[in-house]
């Protein structure tokens, strides 16, 4: 039994200020790619996680992976006594602004609900997801939604205009921790999020200051109808009019920047 941890895209991300709890108040538009990491499960008496794939080495030595935290939280909430041997194929770069651990944790919840069949309703799953991280509730649904507050106050959106849109994801091969980017944000509230197409990512300037290659990635996404950074970076996305235009851009970027990570995909239906 397997589950895809769909790559998360922030089509727009407006940072509005700091909350009383220390978190930044954001307004964002979530969407998800058709592709991502892959999580599998097999029978076991205990609870374990094996990690493989092109980015597995980035998680080496990690003692408290979000996948295992999600599994433990679900077991505890629902009094599950069974174990599970989880296997994660890590295909997405780490600390890249496209969900990463949050998407993996959400995939673990969806997968283990199918595997263990616990008596857990949708509300319980959302509560577990919220306790794991601000992006996990959006990744649990993996469908277009507006996110407010920390990004975990979700309003589902009609995905009919987005589903199937050709999408190109590009990362310069540099990890960019979220905390560092938020710390470098200039603190200026540039206004609310309305139509995401006319929006922006307020974290782009901070990310470029920390990793100048982000600007190079954005410049390389020529031909895209919209090109922005996702989340706190360093991954940037381009939305294209058709697959041919997307694939041409992907081919050119791979040739000119062989060390960059490039994924040609589409926005998924909810």
CATH number of the domain within which 193 lies: 3.30.70.890
The 10s digit of each residue's pLDDT in 184-201 is: 999 999 999 999 999 999
Q: State how many domains the chain has.
A: 2
Q: Do 54 and 112 share a structural domain? A: yes
Q: Among the residues of 96-190, which ranges form H helices?
A: 101-116, 122-132, 136-141, 178-184
Q: Is 35 a catalytic residue?
A: no
Q: Do 179 and 241 share a structural domain? A: yes
The CA distance from 235 to 179, in Å, is 16
Q: Do 191 and 219 share a structural domain? A: yes
Give the pLDDT score at 62. Answer: 67
> Using an 8 Å Cβ cutoff, are 263 and 169 in contact?
yes
Q: Do 149 and 21 share a structural domain? A: yes
Residues 6+ apart with CB under 8 A from 151: 26, 28, 30, 134, 135, 138
104, 135, 159, 202: which one is catalytic?
135
The CA distance from 121 to 96, in Å, is 31
Q: Do 175 and 151 share a structural domain? A: no
Judge whether 32 lies within some domain: yes
| Eight-state DSSP code of residue 133 | -
The 10s digit of each residue's pLDDT in 206-215 is: 999 999 999 9
User: Is residue 19 pLDDT above 90, yes or no?
Assistant: no
The CA distance from 88 to 90, in Å, is 6
Task: Provide the angle, in degrees to the nearest 10, between the axes of the packed helices 213-220 and 243-256.
Answer: 140
CATH number for 6: 3.30.230.10
Confidence of residue 123 (pLDDT cuts 50, 70, 90): very high
As given in the structure block, the two tokens for residue 39 are: 């999580």
The 10s digit of each residue's pLDDT in 154-166 is: 999 987 889 999 9
Residues 6+ apart with CB under 8 A from 255: none
Give the pLDDT score at 17. Answer: 82
Judge whether 208 lies within some domain: yes
- For strand 236-239 and strand 226-229, is the pairing parallel, antiparallel, or unpaired? antiparallel
Higher pLDDT, 60 or 131: 131
Last residue of a domain, one of 102, 121, 156: 156
8, 35, 90, 159: which one is catalytic?
8
Instruction: Answer whether 0.85 is exceeded by the pTM.
Output: yes
Q: Do 104 and 8 share a structural domain? A: yes
Last residue of a domain, one of 156, 176, 192: 156
Last residue of a domain, one of 128, 156, 184: 156
Q: Do 151 and 83 share a structural domain? A: yes
Q: Is 117 a catalytic residue?
A: no
User: Is residue 90 pLDDT above 70, yes or no?
Assistant: yes
The CA distance from 108 to 99, in Å, is 13
Judge whether 219 lies within some domain: yes
Beta partners for residue 12, in sequence order? 29
Q: Do 112 and 35 share a structural domain? A: yes
Q: Do 134 and 178 share a structural domain? A: no
Q: Do 152 and 63 share a structural domain? A: yes
Q: Do 172 and 76 share a structural domain? A: no
User: Is residue 61 pLDDT above 70, yes or no?
Assistant: no
Secondary structure tally for the chain: helices H, strands E:
8, 10
Q: Do 235 and 174 share a structural domain? A: yes
Judge whether 70 lies within some domain: yes
As given in the structure block, the two tokens for residue 226 are: 């919209």
Judge whether 161 lies within some domain: no
As given in the structure block, the two tokens for residue 74 are: 């679900």
Confidence of residue 120 (pLDDT cuts 50, 70, 90): confident
Query: Domain of 123?
Result: 2-156
The CA distance from 247 to 238, in Å, is 11
């Amino acid at each position: 039994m397997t589950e895809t941890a769909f790559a998360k895209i922030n089509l727009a991300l407006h940072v509005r200020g700091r909350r009383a709890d220390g978190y930044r108040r954001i307004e964002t538009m979530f969407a998800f790619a058709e592709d991502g990491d892959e999580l599998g499960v097999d029978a076991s008496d205990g609870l374990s996680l094996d990690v493989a794939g092109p980015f597995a080495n980035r998680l080496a030595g990690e003692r408290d992976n979000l996948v295992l935290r999600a599994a433990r939280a679900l077991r505890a909430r629902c009094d599950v006594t069974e174990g599970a041997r989880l296997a994660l194929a890590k295909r997405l770069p780490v600390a890249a602004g496209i969900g990463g651990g949050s998407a993996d944790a959400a995939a673990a919840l969806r997968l283990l609900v199918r595997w263990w069949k616990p008596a857990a309703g949708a509300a319980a799953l959302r509560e577990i997801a919220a306790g794991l991280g601000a992006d996990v509730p959006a990744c649990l649904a993996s469908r277009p939604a507006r996110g407010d507050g920390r990004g975990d106050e979700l309003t589902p959106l009609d995905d009919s205009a987005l589903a199937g849109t050709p999408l190109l994801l590009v990362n310069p091969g540099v990890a960019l921790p979220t905390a560092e980017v938020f710390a470098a944000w200039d603190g200026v509230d540039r206004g609310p999020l309305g139509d995401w197409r006319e929006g922006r990512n307020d974290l782009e300037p901070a990310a470029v200051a920390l990793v100048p290659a982000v600007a190079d990635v954005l410049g390389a996404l020529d031909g895209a109808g919209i090109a922005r950074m996702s989340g706190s970076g360093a991954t940037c996305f381009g939305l294209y009019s058709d697959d041919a235009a997307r694939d041409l851009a992907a081919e050119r970027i791979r040739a000119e920047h062989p060390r960059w990570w490039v994924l040609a995909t589409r926005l998924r239906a909810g």
